[in-house]
Amino acid sequence: MLAENNGSPLKFCDVFEAANVSRGSAYRIYRDIDDLMNDLSADWVEQFVDHLSGLQPPAPPADWMELTDFIIKSGADYWTLTKNTLRVMPRVRSNAPASYKASVHALADMLERLYDRYFVLPEIPDWHSKLVFATQLCDFAYSEAVRAEGRITEDRLREAQVLCKTYLGFYVPPAVRLRQRPVRTALALGKTGH
């Protein structure tokens, strides 16, 4: 309905009537149209988490900055894949409901696991919140790109990468230890030269 209305505001009653849901049932699920729209935003973030969770860099990253660039590029790819949803999705305000906040925290949790998969990071106080803020920096850069240029250009992608790495660089040392990975040799695989 939002796409048909080109993102114009909807009345909550229009939505539940189109969905053949009774008024009472609709109000048991959502308080109002804003609550429904925030749920749309939360769903978008949850799918973003799934998108990033399934990705792996083509080769193990040499450092955390390379991994950060990969994550940010993957984020831009997701924005491009979901541009129709983004066109009608509201910007979630600071008083976002618990479902949206939980989705954003799930995104930060997934990013923590991704960094931990490749690197042994030092103890970084409030690392989770720093990842949430880094995600917001990318969101701001992407939003501005889409608003101003209709898409995320290479320049805007680089801008997001620089913003995010600069911010995280205040907390993450330039050189962090790589996680040890099992060496896949012929002997480790149980093969012999016989």
Give tens-digit pLDDT for 128-155. 999 999 988 888 888 888 878 888 899 9
pLDDT, mean of residues 42-56: 84
**pLDDT above 90 as % of the chain:** 29
The region that residue 66 occupies, defined by phi over 0 for left and psi between -120 and 50 for alpha, beta otherwise, is: alpha
CB atoms within 10 A of CB 152: 24
Q: Among 68, 53, 136, which Cα is nearest to 101's?
A: 136
- Sign of the four-CA dihedral 167, 125, 100, 72: positive
Beta carbons within 8 Å of 41's beta carbon, 6+ residues apart: 89, 90, 92, 96, 100, 103
Q: How many residues does the chain have?
A: 194
pLDDT in the model for residue 169? 95
- Three-state secondary structure along 55-99? CCCCCCCCCHHHHHHHHHHHHHHHHHHCHHHHHHCCCCCCCCCHH
Could you tell me if residue 126 is left (phi over 0), alpha (psi between -120 and 50 degrees) or otherwise beta?
left
Average pLDDT of the chain? 82
* Model pTM score: 0.75
Which letter, b or e, does each residue of 127-142 get, where b requires 16 or more Cβ atoms within 10 Å of its Cβ?
A: beebbbebbebbbebb
Burial (Cβ within 10 Å: 0-12, 13-18, ≥19) of residue 16: buried
Give 91-101 pLDDT, tens digit per residue.
555 456 666 77
